[in-house]
């Protein structure tokens, strides 16, 4: 995870990237460390950018939900509206 300005950035891979880009799966589940969670909570990301090598798409976030703890990490779901 990386946050720049108001955008949270994640890397993805197939088959997820295509499903996310097309809006078939307009969310991503991520395990965040406590440091990453602190950075997220100190910022107010309004956008999400998903990258796969040189491919990239960006959407407006509609929700950020924390589901709980898992193996010492925080489990988050980042959601956005479907196709751009």
Tens of pLDDT, residue by residue over 50-80, are: 999 999 999 999 999 999 999 999 999 999 9
For the chain, what's the residue count? 84
Residue 51, Cα to own-chain centre: how many angstroms?
Answer: 10
- Between 84 and 81, whose confidence is greater? 81
pTM: 0.93
- What's the CATH code of the domain at 18? 2.30.130.30
Number of Cα atoms under 13 Å in the Cβ half of residue 70: 10
Give the total number of structural domains in the chain: 1
Which residue is listed with tokens 């950035």? 9
Q: So what's the pLDDT on residue 84?
A: 63
> CA 26, 28, 31: angle at the middle one, nearest 5?
170
Residue range 17-48, pLDDT digits in tens: 999 999 999 999 999 999 999 999 999 899 99
């Amino acid at each position: 995870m990386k946050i720049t300005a108001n955008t949270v950035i994640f890397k993805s891979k197939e088959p997820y990237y295509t499903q996310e880009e097309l809006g078939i799966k307009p969310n991503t589940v991520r395990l965040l460390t406590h440091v990453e969670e602190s950075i997220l909570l100190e910022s107010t990301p309004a956008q999400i950018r998903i990258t796969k090598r040189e491919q990239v798409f960006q959407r407006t976030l509609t929700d950020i939900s924390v589901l709980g703890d898992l193996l010492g990490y925080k489990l988050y779901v980042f959601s956005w509206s479907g196709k751009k």
